[in-house]
Every structure is written in structure tokens, then in C-alpha cells.
Structure 1
Amino acid sequence: MREAGVPSPVVPYGADQTLFVVIDRLDEATEIRIERNDLEATIGELVAGCFYDPIKVISFNTLEHWMKDISTIVAGEIRARCDIDGMTMPDYLSDFVESHS
């Protein structure tokens, strides 16, 4: 039985949402998954340094029942934004971008 006030960890069947999960490594033994429903916000948070050591970004759709690794797309977008803004690739993103480019 679920406790009152605790949200369900599962999106209800039929809810048409595309979600983005960032897999972040905290240390050698610990990985966490952080879910977002907005790709633009997810990329912005990556560039802003809101993640310790991002490993992968996965998207999935709850209605169409698909998922895909979009790490290469996100890495390309991060590289493009750094180039456009004339900024050096942040250290915390260099491994992620290099491994997915």
C-alpha cells in the first residue's frame, strides 16, 4: 500500500510525455539518474554545472513506448553552444562530450 502524499514512481499508462534522464556518476561506485521533461532545460543544466560527472542522456516516451540514447546529440549541442558563446568546454563536461563525439 502506498503512503499518502508520496508520488508514484511510474508515469500513468497513456500519459504522452517525452522524458530525459541524465545518468550522473557521483563516485566510482555510485550513479544517480535525474529525470527531466524538458530537453532544453536539461542541456542548460548540464552546461551550468548542475551535474557532477554526466555519463549518458536517455530519452523515452511514455505513450509510444520507445527510448533512445541521445548522448551524442546532447554532446554535439553542448559543443555547439560553447563554440557559439566563445567559451572553453567546462572540465566537468569534457569527458562526456569527448566520449560521445
Structure 2
Amino acid sequence: MSRAPSIVPQQTDHDTYLVLNDFGKLGRAWCEADEEGTDRKTLIRRLMEDQYSHPIRIVAFNTAEGWSRDVTKDIADELRRSIAEYDEVPRSVQEFVEVTVRH
């Protein structure tokens, strides 16, 4: 029987960001990402590239440091502050920021 690959990052000190996306009738799921694509900068870029149809929660963790936390509001605030820098902002990001900042 083969073993499932570990989701623990190989780098010893790496903050990992994961997105919970709402797929409507299909339900919610944590989106897959390669290890190199789980840093904060890449997360922001992927959100602005509209790679998530309806992000609803973002968590970050660092196994080497032994912490995890919900960073949804932090990411929404960062996006809200930087929206003016972009020519186009995906509707998914606009809705994510509006809903998150409102709560």
C-alpha cells in the first residue's frame, strides 16, 4: 500500500498559507498548492490572478515554529490597502475583501 505524501513543508522554517474556497454546490475545500506556492507573496499574487473562485478563509502555519492561525482578516486588509496598485481587481477578491472587512 502506498503512503500519501506529507503535507508538512520540507523547508524547516517556512510560513505556509492555505485557502479554503467555496465551490458552491460542490462544497468547500482547501485548495491544493505546491510547496513553493504557499508563501504570502505567492498567495496574494494568485488571489489577484483570480485563481480562487470564492475564497472564504485563509490560514497560515509554520511547523518549525509550532504555530498556526487564521489570517483571513490580515490578508483581506493587505488586499484592501493594495487594490489601488492594480489595474483590474477580480470580483472574487472584491467580494472577499468586502465580506471579511465587514465582519
C-alpha distance in structure 2 between counterparts of 1:12 and 1:88, whole Å: 33
Which runs of 5 or more structure 1 residues have no equivalent in the other structure? Answer: none
Which runs of 5 or more structure 2 residues have no equivalent in the other structure? Answer: none
SS at match of 1:83: helix
Moved over 2 A (4+): 12-17, 34-37, 87-90
Higher Cα Rg: structure 1 or 2?
Answer: 1
C-alpha distance in structure 2 between counterparts of 1:94 and 1:71, whole Å: 14
Please provide the CA RMSD for this pair. Answer: 2.5
State the match for 2:77 in structure 1.
76
C-alpha distance in structure 2 between counterparts of 1:72 and 1:12, whole Å: 24
Count of equivalent residues: 97
**TM (normalized to structure 1)?**
0.77
Q: Greater helix percent: which structure?
A: 2
CA shift in 2, pair 1:42/1:12, >3 Å: closer
- Identity over aligned residues, as a percent? 24
Q: Greater strand percent: which structure?
A: 1
